[in-house]
Structure 1
């Protein structure tokens, strides 16, 4: 029996980034409009027969869009060269702090050195 590999096409090859941005913006506008209609109807005591199905559809399709986007979003991974460069920079700043007689925390930008009480 032969096996068949199932591959998922890259989303960027199907829809460009600009097209996806337009779709997401339209989706956000529709969601905000439906939410505003829901708040207004609730505050005014109105019953809008189309509102519940609209909100349900927006929620389900929004979840589907989110899962699709999440599965096609590359994750950032630290590369060994990047990690080594960062560690080297930390070691250099620690050595400079020790040479100056300061604590390591004092050498970091935005930190306040501890004082003896």
Structure 2
């Protein structure tokens, strides 16, 4: 799958899947984590209760986030075929782009882990 018109061997491959995973993780945590985070930041209002509308969709969004993370990991960490390389491994721009994408991959993975682990940790606080 080619994301956003980039060639399959581009150093920025996986960016589309990474963005989809991040968006799905944010939406999945919208029902439970977001109201808590907003309250901790001092944001309040009756509209925060409306975020519970996303709760039935949370398992589907988490599944989508995990699937997109898997696709992003495959695209980011996979080594290009020898004749396929859009850039050589010693190219500094290629290396910087790949390192940046790998860092963002782990940030999004942690963001996805929060709504997954919250139901396991929540009983400790109540």
Tell me, yes or no, whether TM beats 0.5. no
- Structure whose residues are more often helix by fraction: 2
Q: Using CA pairs under 8 Å that are at least 6 residues apart, name the structure with larger relative contact order, 1 or 2.
A: 2
Considering only CA atoms, is the larger Rg found in Structure 1 or Structure 2?
1
The normalised TM-score by structure 1 is 0.39
The normalised TM-score by structure 2 is 0.36
